[in-house]
Amino acid sequence: MSAHPYDHGHTVAGWTGFAVAIAGTTVLGVGVCAGSGPLLIAGAGVVVVSLLVTWGLHLAGWGKPSGPRPRDQWDWRVRDAGAREGHTECVGCLLAGRGRKPAAPAPVRNAVPAARGEARAAAGTAAAGG
């Protein structure tokens, strides 16, 4: 039982990205203390990788959409079934080309076909120049 009545978004994507980011900031901190340019670049690179790892896991269904989730989906091991279609207001899904609302089909005008006799008469009138 959780001590809080709402979902904090504990997900595989979130925890994995956080762990990789902690490793990157640790390397950055060592680089600052040591005054090492290569360590600073490596640490910044690991932080960028943490963003990509989190994004990839989110797109694979190990993240969560924005907003509250049903209580049965609060466990961090639950995959998000809607990740394939994308989440409508999720920046990560929009960047991946997912989550866009489908365009409404254009309305069809005059969808009722003309009767055969009317079509032939119209064609004959057009051919006669009238």
3-state DSSP call for residue 43? helix
Taken in order 16, 21, 24, 30, is the CA torsion positive or negative? negative
- pLDDT tens digit sequence for 58-101: 888 888 776 777 777 777 777 777 777 777 778 788 788 876 66
Share of the chain above pLDDT 90, in %: 32
Amino acid residing at 46: V
Question: Can you spell out the DSSP letters for 77-88?
Answer: T---TTTTT--T
pLDDT score, position 46:
97
pLDDT score, position 52:
95
Q: Considering the entire predicted model, what is its pTM?
A: 0.65
Tokens 């690179």 — which residue? 45
Asked if 98 contacts 106 with a C-beta cutoff of 8 angstroms, the reply is no
- pLDDT tens digit sequence for 22-35: 999 999 999 999 99
